[in-house]
Structure 1
Amino acid sequence: MEQRSDRDEFSDFAGGRWPSLVRAGILMGCSLSDAEDLAQTTLTRCYQQWSRVARADNPSAYAHRMLVNAFIDTKRRRRNSELLVAQPVEGSISDPMQEIRLDIERSLGQLTQQQRLVVVLRYFLDLSERETAEVLGVPTGTVKSRLARALEALSADPRLATIALEASDD
């Protein structure tokens, strides 16, 4: 039986993680191109430290931690460089799925950065509370309290009220 090389293992890992890393970047507040840049930065860092990532108990959680760190680094460097607007500048939206995505992004945009990260990791990347705590480097109780506050804020938003109520039943 042929042994797989580190390059092959990383290639499989990166291919499997790319969509969720990009999606997480978008849900954390990045544009599509910025989310792709963030995912690329994350996977580059994973490749540079592949032996450590591959040995981790949960390589996906390790990569998500790198994603969060890269996101925070990016926010520090680009503070106040973009002007966010409540409504799209160009005309109306014809794609109903795009409207739903915009509603989700607007609603998540009302949360603090810490709350938004917890919601994205917990509900969109489907990490457990313990895994979310590991990724963020905080106690599990902190994850629970941030989630409770985030879900309370989201439940006040009529666009996401039903999603927040369903999530709180988990």
Structure 2
Amino acid sequence: MRQARADDYAQFAVARAGHLYRSACLLTAGDTHLAEDLVQETLGRLYVHWGRVSRVENPAGYAQTVLTRAFLAHQRRRSSTERATDALPDRAAEGGDVSLRLTLLQALARLPAKDRAVVVLRYWEDRSVEETAAVLNASSAAVRTRCTRALGRLRESLGEELGEYAAS
């Protein structure tokens, strides 16, 4: 019984780790090291409670909620603003328009943590307002307001910078 539960968890973790990592990268505005830490923390929390988690209707959604809450908890810590600036990235970005990706990640980084979480949940995870509100422990109205303001800030921030990409 215990081995079957461990095998079930291992299959789930392998299947969801990539998606969790991509979401964590967006939440952290491209900080891959922090994203890895958040995914590890999320998978650790899920493992501890896997007996209960495996019985919920949507374990993947539950994992995404745990990831988002771990990110927000990290942002509340004083040490979360410390960043190493003299280290180069481990590897180059793969494919796609690198300068556009960096511009978007920089714009996301300028958003407050909760605004960033709302944008990622609503537009990357494609969650409804109600689902996003449940993850963030907020009302639907608060999510709609935060989403509108966050998108406005992104448009302000990206307005001039995206002009050069539209012309290409």
The whole-number CA distance in structure 1 between the counterparts of 2:127 and 2:64 is: 10
After superposing on structure 2, the runs of 4+ consecutive aligned residues of structure 1 that deviate more than 3 Å are 93-96
Report matched runs for 1:15-164 at 5 Å. 15-29=14-28, 30-75=30-75, 76=77, 78-82=79-83, 97-156=97-156, 157-158=158-159, 159=161
Aligned residue pair count: 154
TM-score (norm 2): 0.77
The 2-side partners of 1:128 and 1:48 are apart by: 28
Counterpart contact for 1:61–1:135, Cα < 8 Å: no
Cα offset for 1:96? 5.4
- Secondary structure of residue in 2 paired with 1:126: coil
| Distance (Å, rounded) in 2 between the aligned partners of 1:9 and 1:26 | 26
Tell me which amino acid in the other structure corresponds to 2:82. Answer: S
More displaced 10-residue stretch of structure 1: 113-122 or 32-41? 32-41
The AA in structure 1 aligned to 2:80 is R
Would the alpha carbon gap of residues 57 and 134 (structure 1) be closer, same or farther in structure 2, given more than 3 Å must change? farther
Partner of 1:56, secondary structure, is: coil
Q: Cα distance, 1:80 vs. partner?
A: 3.4
Return the alpha-carbon distance in structure 1 between the equivalents of residues 99 and 32 of structure 2: 15
- The Cα RMSD (Å) is 2.9
Asked whether the equivalents of residues 38 and 70 of structure 1 are also in contact (C-alpha less than 8 Å), the reply is: yes
For 1:160 and 1:20, locate their aligned partners in 2 and report how far apart those are by CA, in whole Å.
27
Amino acid at match of 2:47: Y
AA matched with 1:54: S
> How far apart are residue 149 of structure 1 and its match?
0.8
CA offsets 1:10-33 (integer angstroms, 9 cap, x no match): 222212221121111111125212
Change (3 A) 1:62 1:96: closer
Give the corresponding residue for 1:7: 6
TM-score (normalised: structure 1): 0.76
Asked whether the 8 Å contact 2:72–2:113 carries over to 1, the reply is no
Unaligned segments of structure 1, at least 5 residues? 162-170
